[in-house]
Amino acid sequence: MEKLVIRGGRPLRGKIEISGSKNAALPIMLACILVDGPVLYRNVPRLRDIFTTLKLLRILGCSAAFTDEAGHEVAAEAGALMPEAPYDLVCTMRASVLVLGPLLARLGRAKVALPGGCAIGARPVDLHLKALERMGARFDLDSGYIVGTCAELRGADITFDFPTVGGTENLLMAASLARGETILRNAAREPEISDLVNFLCACGAEISGEGSDTLHVRGVSSLRGCAYSIMPDRIEAGTFLTAAAITGGELFLENCPAEALNAVISKLESMGVGFERNPEGLRVRSGASLKSAGVTTRPYPGFPTDMQAQIMALMTRAEGSSTVEETIFENRFMHVPELGRMGADIELSGSRAVIRGGRPLIGAPVMASDLRASASLVLAGLAAQGETQVRRIYHLDRGYEHIEHKLNAVGADITRLEDR
């Protein structure tokens, strides 16, 4: 396993280019299962989860690979499809459950390992299954696998109990090739959903309501290949905005999807961070001092749960007490004890955290537990006095492309080492 050794206290200054979005690329690449013909994806980030997705597509009978060793283009094409997504893959990446909709739509059957929980919670898929049953699918549980069958998916009027991101994505893909019209109500509105809608429409799907919580899908008989560029990663961008603020620096983020970050930007502004938007990207400069704030995570366009750990690290540097209420996942405070090892004063009660700022962070060995908790520890290490070692950084590599290269290029001092 590897670790990052971070020597903190250095303000970040310079320019960072934002990579393609992991959470847009995963469903959009899996959607190639629906398509007759070759698809060329551009701006695909080179991340662990992307390589896992390519492996999964090949197991399912598709050709799928980066077009060269270092680039960001992926060529994919559905071949003679197989219905099974095996456990050893699904357990490393929950998003594998997103093959359910496409396989049922193309093959009429699917066998997908039930995604176990993960560090941030149980994360069931009951909303996906209930909605697909409304379209005529039947599911059995067979020794840890979801086995789905349907003679033909039929359009349905579906209301989600909760605006589930993955559930909305699975149903959008299933409905694109179903017979008749599907309405998805209380659908998730995350920008990555809009990117998936735009990709499916580029392949010939008939979907309206993009960006709203009600999506109308008129099923078509087939989808054709196309070339498509993945949207920039708003969570990577939000993480780097926070890095500038926590180190007292100034960064220019190229290809920053500022429109998709309004909740994060306005919260950081309330803490005293300055922003300047322009067509090429977003400039962020830290304020003279940081004010405390209150954050409650919400489905989009509310404050994203994927930025909760990162802003909590920043709050340790603010004057006074800040609060965080996590409403999306039941166990997304794994970063708290690790921040505590660095001197942070954070008190937890249920889904609420109170962060008392003003004390310096002191570098220490800390353990990553999930993707965004890892990012929070890196941010704390950048601001801390002395040296921080963040271990088990395979979590980090799932969602950040060359994070230490990007941060070192703007003044950080980070080394990646084998963790013996």
Stretch that binds ligand EPZ, among 39-47, 115-123, 386-394, 410-418 (CB under 6 A): 115-123
DSSP 13-28: EEEEE--B-HHHHHHH
Packing angle between helix 165-176 and helix 126-134, nearest 10 degrees? Answer: 30
Minimum CB distance to ligand EPZ, residue 371 (Å): 5
Residue whose C-alpha is closest to residue 160's, from 138, 185, 182, 193: 185
Minimum CB distance to ligand EPZ, residue 161 (Å): 8
State which residue has the least CB distance to ligand EPZ: 166
Per-residue burial over 275-287, b if 16 or more Cβ lie within 10 Å, else e, is eeeeeebbbbbbe
> Residues 349-378: x/- map of binding to ligand EPZ (CB under 6 A)?
----------------------xx------
DSSP 80-149: S---EE-HHHHTT-GGGGGGHHHHHHHHSEEEEEPPP-BTTB----HHHHHHHHHTT-EEEEETTEEEEE
The Cα 313–Cα 333 span in angstroms is 12
Dihedral of CA 234/113/137/141: which sign? negative
CA angle 15, 21, 25 (to 5 degrees): 150
Kindly state whether residue 302 participates in binding ligand EPZ, applying the rule CB under 6 A: no
> Residues 374-413: x/- map of binding to ligand EPZ (CB under 6 A)?
-------------------------x--------------
Using CB under 6 A as the binding rule, the residues of this chain from 176 to 195 that contact ligand EPZ are 188
Stretch that binds ligand EPZ, among 62-70, 76-84, 125-133, 281-289 (CB under 6 A): 125-133
CA end-to-end span of the chain: 8
Which of 16, 26, 309, 346 forms a contact with ligand EPZ (CB under 6 A)?
A: 26
Using CB under 6 A as the binding rule, the residues of this chain from 313 to 332 that contact ligand EPZ are 328-329
Using CB under 6 A as the binding rule, the residues of this chain from 272 to 291 that contact ligand EPZ are none
Kindly state whether residue 116 participates in binding ligand EPZ, applying the rule CB under 6 A: no
Kindly state whether residue 165 participates in binding ligand EPZ, applying the rule CB under 6 A: yes
Q: In what order do the strands lie in the sheet with 157-159?
A: 157-159, 181-185, 214-218, 206-208
Minimum CB distance to ligand EPZ, residue 128 (Å): 5
Catalytic residue positions, numbered: 118
Kindly state whether residue 128 participates in binding ligand EPZ, applying the rule CB under 6 A: yes
Which of 86, 121, 386, 411 forms a contact with ligand EPZ (CB under 6 A)?
A: 121
Per-residue burial over 159-168, b if 16 or more Cβ lie within 10 Å, else e, is ebeebbbbbb
Minimum CB distance to ligand EPZ, residue 368 (Å): 13
Kindly state whether residue 37 participates in binding ligand EPZ, applying the rule CB under 6 A: no
Minimum CB distance to ligand EPZ, residue 416 (Å): 21
The Cα 379–Cα 375 span in angstroms is 6
Minimum CB distance to ligand EPZ, residue 113 (Å): 15
Alpha helices in 139-213 (DSSP H): 165-176, 191-202
Alpha helices in 354-410 (DSSP H): 371-383, 394-397, 403-408
Which of 125, 146, 205, 336 forms a contact with ligand EPZ (CB under 6 A)?
A: 125
Q: With respect to ligand EPZ, which residue has the nearer C-beta, 164 or 316? A: 164
For ligand EPZ, the binding residues (CB under 6 A) are: 23, 26, 94-95, 121-128, 162, 164-167, 188, 305-306, 328-329, 371-372, 399
